[in-house]
Amino acid sequence: MSSFVSQLPLAPLGAGDLIDRAVRLYRRHLFVLIRTAAPPVIVVAGSGILFSIAVRRVFVTFESDDLLWYGLLTFLSLSVMLGGYLFMLVVMGGATRTLVAHLLRNEPVTARATYSAVKARFWGLVGASLIVMTWIMAASAAAFMAVYIVLIVFVIGTVLFATVAPWLSTVIILMGALISIVLGLWIFFLIAARIAYVPQVMLVEGKGVFAAVGRSFALARGNVRRLMAMTLFTTFATYSALMILAVPLGWYGYLHGIDPLNSAQWPAWYAIAYSVLGPLSSIVLTPVWMLGLSLLYVDERVRHEGYDIELMAARQLGEVPDVNVLSPLGTALHSLEPEPPRPGPPMASGRVLNLS
């Protein structure tokens, strides 16, 4: 049997195992995953190109009408870009359901299956993704404040030691920068990790928005290091792919008299080409991030709930029927089909029994 289960058995994963399994899945379903991730990334790419052009024109335009137009275009493109990132979070939930269906029933991994799942719970996923984005912005603000406070402390220490030992002040400021970056990343992921599984919980377990938020909080115990490792790996891989694409473009522009470091003087074709490079690398590598989050969700349930045993039982015996029993654990895979109405109580007979 060539199923996913026979080749990649479920077990608690470390950070390296998580990345390795995500890359192996990515290689197996490369073009399907690229098609799945492409729509939200294309939305982000198109709005990013408009945003970069509009921002450059704002600083070189002197006519009031043109300035108003480019300012409005900047605002609209930024709004569409945020909507694209929101759409990306929504698609991640559908990708997790497709992965679990592959684990459970060996169903094929297709873009249609992912978007069908997204369509079934679209507005709920949009609301959940708004909560996730708001929470991520709050985590970013908390991390920034921590970095700022640590840097202020080390800057004061640098000033105090500057007259005594100049070399020591340099060491102190370098240590302060390193410690502040590590602390900021840890605080950000410690807070952001709590809502990492909201779209996944909604589409796999069938829970509502607020119930999914609470469920994500319950699952996200001890996942900070693995989530940080997956995020840093995907970020470095994306920027590596970006540099592979950007260096030839930079050399081509340099040979044609364009300064790659002076973006204000770039011609329109070069600015558009440079703006396309980031989305191209994102289209190629965003599926790794989507798979990583999906596998991390499955791994949390394997660690905390014996999800591997539940998947094996559901694969052999079928899903446990919904008998309206409340449980803190989620189902193996919730059905997206609307439940049929429950039959009402039997009607009494039209004849009346005479007891006299």
Could you tell me if residue 354 is inside a domain? no
Could you tell me if residue 263 is inside a domain? yes
Model-level pTM?
0.73
Helix, strand, coil proportions of the chain in percent (round to 5)? 75, 0, 25
Looking at residue 277, its pLDDT comes to 78
Could you tell me if residue 343 is inside a domain? no
pLDDT in tens, 42-79: 888 788 778 877 887 777 777 777 788 888 888 898 88
Q: Which two tokens stand for residue 236?
A: 């470095």
Helix, strand or coil, per DSSP, at residue 338: coil
Domain that holds residue 290: 4-315
| CA-based R_g, the chain, Å | 26
Count of domains observed in the chain: 1
- Side-chain half-sphere exposure of 335, counting CA atoms within 13 A: 9
What value, to the nearest 5°, has the Cα angle with vertex 237 and ends 231 and 241?
Answer: 145
Could you tell me if residue 253 is inside a domain? yes
- Closest by alpha carbon to 203, among 294, 112, 83? 294
Cβ distance 169 to 158 under 8 Å? Answer: yes
pLDDT in tens, 73-118: 888 988 888 888 888 888 877 887 887 777 767 778 888 888 888 8
- Per-residue b/e over 257-279, b at no fewer than 16 CB within 10 Å? ebebeeeeebeeebeebbbbbbb
Could you tell me if residue 355 is inside a domain? no
Could you tell me if residue 162 is inside a domain? yes
The span from the CA of 250 to the CA of 26, in Å, is 30
Could you tell me if residue 267 is inside a domain? yes
Largest Cα separation within the chain, whole Å, is 113
Most confident of 178-192, 248-262, 312-326: 178-192
Helices 64-105, 122-162: crossing angle, 10 deg rounding: 110
Whether the predicted pLDDT of 1 surpasses 50:
no
Could you tell me if residue 134 is inside a domain? yes
| 306 compared with 142, residue with greater pLDDT | 142
